[in-house]
A and B are shown apart, each in its own frame.
Chain A
Amino acid sequence: MSRRRWLTSLRARLLLAFILLCVVTAAGVAGATYVRARDVILQKAQDSAVISLTDKVKTLYPVGGLPPSQAVLEEIAGKLSGRDDNAVVVYEGRKSRGSIDLAEFSPALRQAVADGDVAWQRIVRGSTPGLVIGTQMVFTQPDGTPKAALEIYSVRSLLPEQQSIDDLASSAALVGGAALAFAVLLALLATRSVLRPVRELGRAAHQLGEGDLTTRLTVRGADELAGVARTFNNTAEALENQVGELQRMEADARRFVADVSHELRTPLAAMTVVTDVLDEEAPGLSGDVGRAARLVSQETHNLTRLVNDLIEVTRFDSGAAATALDEVDVAAAVNATLRARGWTDQVETELTPDVRARLDPRRLDIILANLVGNALRHGAPPVSVRLFAEPDWITFEVGDRGPGLDPRVLPHVFDRFYKADTARTRSEGSGLGLAIAWENARLHRDGERQGSLVAGNRPDGGAVFVLRLPRYATNAADLGGPQ
């Protein structure tokens, strides 16, 4: 699979194309040059051999007695033979002695010679190339008509020419190989120069996708890739601007909520004082007035809690929430939470004793109170709290035996103001409890470890919330992290 991917990669394809181009070009040029040079070498050798033979034949004139005696044939053959060539002289079926057999010559050659032409042909005997030249020796009869006196064949080795041609071929192969190596080098350089911007583009796009909106590419040159880089930069800039705008708007909105919450605190404090007075007086009030007084008191408490929750949420959003870490006995902390709210009798606990952990006891209290409170309100008994300890983690499981959470609700359980049951009375909670619990869990960190809160259903029925915190949380502020 990876081999296949390498083959289809841009680099491999570019490399292959270069190599192919080089091979085709080198083979074409070298091949054409080789063929042409070979033909020229052979033609020159042949032409000079033919001219040499006819010149030698011309020195034999005038023609003496015919038919020639065998001795005359031998003498002429001797005169025509040299260091490189070997001649045979034929007169009407008789021939000079020698190693050459007339049957070796093609009938076409003999016919051409009989027709009165100088003719030649390359032959290959074994692996030795040779050249056969044939001609007649013609004399003019007393009546002026030409008449063939002798047929002369000369056989010449072409080994020196073959040697030259072989040298040519090997040098062509050498040059072709050098060109191929050069092409590969060139292709590598070219692919690098082309692929580097592509790689940079890929890396920048990845960074942008990771959320680093300040990523920019250096635009080099004016080619298509530079155009792509420029477009990328423009896109990244537009994206950064828009995201910045959105973030500014969101921050404005949060600040507004925070401001509103803070502004509400003072009048609420005053109202609380008033409602406290009303509460004291309520038993003395009768009928509708008493009910109204109790209602105002109740709603004022709810509003106070909502505003406090909102302020808590805005702290998380602005990153101002910090943990106040302390070394605590976890089981004791859980018991304290249950006891403080009077839930000890309604909740079954299964707590590993003597588990010590470093965490924010106040936030743990908020989380557990919220989870257990929810279980008591919406689930069915028995509500259980269990504690597990691992070397690096502590895990709380808060479960009930109620109908469990609707699968459609599950993904939204920790959303702010999310109401699973639209018919539920609005007085039961602010709608921010689980969201705050979730944020509190995530606030606990230990390096890579981060606390989590997960909602789910038990296979045997009932909802279960799993709180998982790093056992030795570190303060984000201590690490110089975001506030």
Chain B
Amino acid sequence: MTAKKLLAGLVALAVLGSGCGVRASGVITGGSAPTGPADGVGLYLVANNRLTPVLRATRGQLTPSETLTLLAGGPDADELAQGMTSAIPADIGIVDVVSDPSGAKVMVSADVTTLSAIAVDQIVCTVSGTTAANVRAPGSGSFTVTLVGAGGRSRGPKSCPV
């Protein structure tokens, strides 16, 4: 009789242990989050004195120089509303961007020595982000960008700090 009672108790305990109804569970993880294409170009703006990447919706693919021109145009209305600014003067005058797998050279009409450090970083990071996919070989070390401005004065080469 004692063994039977024990058995019944164990069964009851097992039933109670598994509980009735719907109970809270732990975190269950499935596969990776869905991934899809982005329709736009990545630009680096400044928010609270820090480099902040944004995705600017565009139509079609832009060349690196077109992208830099877009960057020089400053934040749009949405970005302004979110407190974004740009340290790049609007009259910097993008001339050309020449890329190879190890780096890129950005030629501008303004004097690059007068640019603030954060403005240089904005340009370096934006160029790195846009160029890398087309030109850069995967795993080919750090991608550097050199700015060449009026009078042949240059900044860099520099790689994106973020």
Contacts and interface: CB of A to CB of B under 8 A. Distances in A.
Residue of A66, A69, A142 with highest tally of chain B CB at under 10 A:
A142
27 contacts: A17-B4, A31-B18, A62-B39, A65-B56, A65-B57, A66-B40, A69-B78, A106-B27, A113-B33, A119-B30, A120-B30, A121-B26, A122-B25, A135-B33, A137-B33, A138-B34, A138-B36, A139-B38, A139-B55, A140-B35, A141-B38, A141-B129, A141-B133, A143-B129, A143-B136, A144-B132, A162-B22
A101 B27 CA distance: 18
B55 A63 contact: yes
Contact of A146 (B7, B23, B35, B78): B35
Contacts of B162: none
Interface residues of A, number: 58
Q: Identify whether the interface residues of A are mostly helix, strand, loop, or mixed.
A: mixed
A191 interface: no
Given A27-B11, A124-B23, A64 B136 contact: no
Given A27-B12, A124-B23, A116 B32 contact: yes
Contact of A118 (B26, B32, B82): B32
A57 interface: yes
Contacts of A165: 21-22
B37 interface: yes
A118 B15 contact: no
B54 interface: yes
* Interface residue tally on B, bucketed by range: 35 or more
Contacts of A61: 36-37
Given A137-B34, A140-B36, A148-B33, A46 B28 contact: yes
A66 B54 contact: yes
Contact of A117 (B20, B30, B129, B130): B30
A38 B25 CA distance: 13
Contact of B29 (A106, A118, A140, A166): A118
B31 interface: yes
A177 B22 CA distance: 23
Contacts of B20: 169
